[in-house]
Amino acid sequence: MAIRNIREMGDPVLGKTCKEVTEMNPRTRDLIEDMLETMYEANGVGLAAPQVGILKRIVVIDVTGEDPYVLINPRIVESSGEQTGSEGCLSVPGKVANVTRPNYVKVVALDANMKSFELEGTELLARAICHELDHLDGHLYVEKAEGPLMDVQSDSEDEE
């Protein structure tokens, strides 16, 4: 496994739409492992492939630090409720802003073995899913920010 460079706001790759993954191969397995290692090293709770310069529909999420999810070709099929809270991003270092997201989402995706599964999440997991899936379509949370970006405080939550 290897730590990859995280692309930052202004990098053109972050504004592009990712392509679906059609097969699992050694390069894609390595990418997933690298994404997990990179996310943990950066103290994030999520990372999307375009954030490391790869235009594939892959995200990794771990809101507990112990239970990582790999989502390949994810699609939100249901959402409800609303939550507004502070959100950050590894591609927008040192900044946070308030963003309103659904409080519940259900996503359909493929796992690392290309098997279909559903994942339901509330609160932080729902926020992380929505945030990371936005990356796959070339969007950053700053587009949804309610008010100005603020500097991260030392006691703030992990960035996504």
List, by residue number, the catalytic residues: 132
11 backbone dihedrals φ, ψ, rounded to 5°: -75, 125
> Which domains does the chain show, CATH number per domain?
12-151 (3.90.45.10)
Helix, strand, coil abundance in the chain, percent, nearest 5: 25, 35, 40
Query: CA-CA-CA-CA torsion for 31, 70, 72, 104, nearest 10 degrees?
Result: -140
Per-residue pLDDT at 160: 53
Give the pLDDT score at 153: 76
Q: What is the pLDDT along the chain (160 residues), one digit of tens a residue?
A: 789 999 999 999 999 999 999 999 999 999 999 999 999 999 999 999 999 999 999 999 999 999 999 999 999 999 999 999 999 999 999 999 999 999 999 999 999 999 999 999 999 999 999 999 999 999 999 999 999 999 987 544 444 5
Cβ-Cβ contacts under 8 Å for 63 (sequence gap 6 or more): 45, 46, 124, 125, 128
The 3-state DSSP class for residue 3 equals coil
Instruction: List, in sequence order, every beta strand (DSSP E) within 1-157.
Output: 46-48, 58-61, 69-80, 83-89, 92-101, 104-110, 116-122, 150-151
Q: How far is CA 132 from CA 25, 90, 153, in A?
A: 22, 11, 22
- If we measure between CA atoms, which residue out of 102, 89, 101 comes closest to residue 149? 89
Encoding tokens for residue 117? 């599964």
Tokens 């730590």 appear where?
Answer: 3
The most distant pair of C-alpha atoms in the chain lies apart, rounded to whole Å, by: 43
Query: pTM here?
Result: 0.93
